[in-house]
Homo-oligomer: A and B are copies of this chain.
Amino acid sequence: MPVVSITLLPGYDQATQHRMVNAVANAVRSVIATPEAGTTVFINEVSTYRRDGKVFSEGRAAHPVASEVVRTFLQAMQSRDLGAAQLCLHPDFRMCFPGGVVMHSLPEMVAWAQLRYTRIAKQYEAFEESWQGDSTVVYCHGTLQGTWLDGQTFEGIRFIDRMVIQDGLITRQDVWNDLAEHRKP
């Protein structure tokens, strides 16, 4: 039943406008039990906008899609392109791996991983975003496949990553997985 009108300054490209109407429709539907058919969202571009005593003629930049930032980072890590991966990280980046291992740099993490497996790849099941206002949390889960240190391979091992994105950069990565459940003691 809701009709949502979003008034924006002109200049946002079509992809950004589509993201916005979809995001807002999902936000509304998370609160009331309205079906898709009853949910209308549109964007109305205004020609002049004044707030806080200032007249604006152009909107703020669009954020990159947070889950795409995460996907780019994970792909770069998988192919061990640490340079590309580093570009996705905020200066204050901090990661936490199974066992509560906290690290701050990618080389540090690579060194840590080398003691656990020789190769690893992620099969993604879903990327899900949680919009927190100043940041977006991206959750990504799926299964791991790879090779243990002893040369044996594994696959189908569950994992989940939680990434916090601010201004298009990852500030925090938390990783959980079932590797320890499957690792031979």
Contacts and interface: CB of A to CB of B under 8 A. Distances in A.
Interface string A41-61: 111111111111101110111
Nearest to A183: B180
Interface of A is mostly: mixed
Contacts of A29: 131, 133-134
Given A6-B4, A130-B129, A133-B26, A61 B33 contact: yes
B59 A32 contact: yes
A131 B1 contact: no
Interface stretch (A15-23, A74-82, A103-111): A15-23
A36 B133 contact: yes
A68 interface: no
A31 B27 contact: no
Given A46-B43, A57-B14, A139-B139, A51 B38 contact: yes
Copies in the complex: 6
B25 A133 contact: yes
Contact of A1 (B27, B59, B180): B59
Given A59-B32, A162-B141, A3 B130 contact: no
A56 to B, nearest CB: 6
A62 interface: yes
Interface in A138-185: 139, 141, 156-160, 162, 167, 174, 176-178, 180-183, 185
A10 B141 CA distance: 40
Considering residues A28, A48, A167, which has the most beta carbons from chain B within 10 angstroms of its beta carbon? A48
Contacts of A83: none
A5 interface: yes
8 contacts: A6-B28, A12-B32, A24-B24, A31-B62, A33-B62, A98-B158, A100-B178, A128-B130
